[in-house]
Amino acid sequence: MGVWRLLRSRRRGRNGPEAPADLPELVELKWYARHAEIAETGMRTVARRLPVLIGQALRLAWRAGPADTVVVVSFNLVAGMFTAFGLLATTGVLTALFAAGPTPERVRAALPSLALVAVAAALRAGFQAGAGWAQSRLRPKVDRIIEMRLYELTSAVELAALDDSDFLDDLQRADSRGSAAAARVVESTVDLLTAAVGLLAAAGTLGVLHPLLLPLLLLTAVPEAWASVRSARMRYLTILALVGAARRKWILSDLMIDREHAPEIRSFTMRGFLLRQYDTVAAYQRDLELDLARRQTAARVVGEALQGLALGAVYVTLGLLLWRGTVPLAVAGTAVLAVRTGQSALANLVFAVNSCYEEGLYFGDYVRFCEEAERRVPARPEPARPVPVPFRRITVENVTFTYPKADKPSLQGVSVELRQGEVVALVGENGSGKSTLAKIIAGLYTPDQGRVCWDGVPLDEMNPEDLWERIAVIAQDYTHWPMTARHNITMGRPTAPAPDGGESPAVLAAARRSGADEVVSGLADGYDTLLDRRFKGGAELSGGQWQRLAAARGFYREAPLLVCDEPSAALDARAEHALFERIREHADGRTVLLITHRLASVRYADRIYVLEHGQVTEHGDHDTLMALDGLYADLYTLQSSAYSL
């Protein structure tokens, strides 16, 4: 059963276990048809694609190492010339050996040609070794270029691209298989050139010996080429069909291995459930792989049988030519050698063409992903307008925003204002759009409609990196960076140590403000402690301790706008109180955008915006909103009554 049929039957739940509804990636392969189209190719497509691939590979090799590329190509050409030369010299040896006369005489007569054969073989081996050395030097250089390109793009694309499931699928294919394929495309291109040169040498020799032998030799390659291309295409389609399953397996294995999830797996007795899910995915994968193996074996057997027949035809023709006296025995002997050389060069050529084509399919995924990612890197305005520092007013004007593939907007017609030195709070129930609005204000998402301006300058007219330099974010979903405590505060920014060589005063000040200083003082190596238990000597922090470090990051940046999204969710009461005090102090001359469900902490905000279903429904200071008796007053009364019980 073909992959297509197997997939279709899976969707209908026939033949084998039905894909469970809670594993949709096993059945809904929306992107599959597009790639199946690309992979549904025959030898004609291979012939059309190959020159493009060879061009791409050679350009890549040239960028990675021009000198090595020149050595690889030229040494292979020279080695091929010595192959042909050696074969022709063999005719001289055989002619002398098959001549009439006493054996010592014949051997002596063969010696000069024999010496030529030996010299040709030695030189060929030398040049091939040189080419091989240059080729192995190219691989790491190509890998480096390819990986750097991928990470340059993934770290620069607009944030919304990473919320788009199609983009993430493409990214996974480019990362897991596509990027490694680049070096293999280069290698198989070089192998292809090497084999082509070897084949040309053998074919040229055969052509000189007898013109009929050449087309026959080429005929032997057709069945193997057909079988290999077919097999590569089948493998590519199967791997495509398994991308979702592979990702689900990876996620499940991560859940079962990672320490982070271990307590919940045990306390919720999830072990059996996770193992069953894993087994279902593994069984699905096994079915597809077994089906692939069966079809590949069938293709190989047919290919090899046809190739055996074609090879038989070459030897029968040679025998006939010899029998009818068309070629002398010495020439026939050389022809046998040339056929064998040509055969192995052909086998190498077919293998190289096939792996170039196959790896080319994966490399194509990488190239297409990079093209798409380039389109999704935010354009830098030319010329960029400078970010007003210090700003007087940030205005959000009638902003609407929908996440990729979402069926309704997360923000609709939102207008907000932040003035210098103010604490502005966003409040509202879960999912009302507070974090989304904060990310739009921070220039992380671009609104679909409306705009955000700093002193009248729209964000899209400024260089995004200049803007981000002036915004500090204490995020809700902050990262536990597997780095030292110091790097978790400075986030890679250079620090100036104190004049006495002690810790940087800026780091100390930020840590003091957030309460992270108490955390660091308890660590074995202070600010040099690695915060990752997976490494020797690494420490682990509690949720609240991590949150203090995340807050220190925000203070360390000394930016005119500080965005705090739920900065205190994990803090104890004392630390929370202290943090909000510091945040208020921080607003002296700077601006703070505060998102929190702790309404007692927003009471002193200069202005509060209440969001409901992506819209601002109330705004004003605490007293105004309480007098309005709307959602804010409801939520506030609910929270304060819990304390007054």
- The smaller minimum CB distance to ligand ATP, of residues 277 and 436, is found at 436
Using the rule CB under 6 A, is 598 a contact of ligand ATP?
no
Contacts of 12 (CB under 8 A, 6+ apart): none
Minimal distance in Å, beta carbon 355 to ligand ATP?
39
Q: How far apart are CA 303 and CA 301, in angstroms?
A: 5
Q: How far apart are CA 508 and CA 512, in angstroms?
A: 6
**Of 632, 604, 603, whose CA–CA distance to 617 is shortest?**
632
Stretch that binds ligand ATP, among 99-107, 187-195, 403-411, 481-489 (CB under 6 A): 403-411
Contacts of 63 (CB under 8 A, 6+ apart): 145
Q: How far apart are CA 184 and CA 141, in angstroms?
A: 12
Using the rule CB under 6 A, is 113 a contact of ligand ATP?
no
Using the rule CB under 6 A, is 569 a contact of ligand ATP?
no
- The smaller minimum CB distance to ligand ATP, of residues 173 and 434, is found at 434
- The smaller minimum CB distance to ligand ATP, of residues 376 and 385, is found at 376
Stretch that binds ligand ATP, among 40-48, 343-351, 428-436, 623-631 (CB under 6 A): 428-436
The H-or-E segment that residue 189 falls in is helix 179-209
User: Taking CB under 6 A as the criterion, which residues in 338-367 touch ligand ATP?
Assistant: none
Site track for ligand ATP across 147-186, x = CB under 6 A? ----------------x-----------------------
Stretch that binds ligand ATP, among 213-221, 368-376, 426-434, 490-498 (CB under 6 A): 426-434
Strands (E), 382-445: 393-401, 411-419, 423-428
Rg (CA), the chain: 35
Q: Which of 244, 428, 554, 560 binds ligand ATP (CB under 6 A)?
A: 428
Minimal distance in Å, beta carbon 21 to ligand ATP?
21
DSSP assignment, residue 483? S
Minimal distance in Å, beta carbon 475 to ligand ATP?
11
Using the rule CB under 6 A, is 532 a contact of ligand ATP?
no
User: Taking CB under 6 A as the criterion, which residues in 468-507 touch ligand ATP?
Assistant: 476
Provide the 10 A C-beta neighbour count for residue 596. Answer: 23
The H-or-E segment that residue 64 falls in is helix 43-64
- The smaller minimum CB distance to ligand ATP, of residues 235 and 434, is found at 434
Q: How far apart are CA 161 and CA 392, in angstroms?
A: 32
Phi, psi of 37 (to 5 degrees): -60, -45
Q: Which of 155, 267, 269, 430 binds ligand ATP (CB under 6 A)?
A: 430
- Side-by-side strand order, sheet with 393-401: 411-419, 393-401, 449-454, 457-458
- The smaller minimum CB distance to ligand ATP, of residues 336 and 406, is found at 406
Phi, psi of 129 (to 5 degrees): -65, -40
Minimal distance in Å, beta carbon 434 to ligand ATP?
4
- Tokens 């899976």 belong to which residue? 10
**Contact between 318 and 336 (Cβ < 8 Å):** yes
Using the rule CB under 6 A, is 410 a contact of ligand ATP?
yes
Using the rule CB under 6 A, is 435 a contact of ligand ATP?
yes
Paired tokens of 45: 């497509």
Strands (E), 478-557: none
- The smaller minimum CB distance to ligand ATP, of residues 446 and 463, is found at 446
- The smaller minimum CB distance to ligand ATP, of residues 238 and 435, is found at 435
Using the rule CB under 6 A, is 334 a contact of ligand ATP?
no
Stretch that binds ligand ATP, among 237-245, 261-269, 432-440, 492-500 (CB under 6 A): 432-440
- Applying CB under 6 A, the residues found at the interface with ligand ATP are 163, 403, 406, 410, 428, 430-436, 476
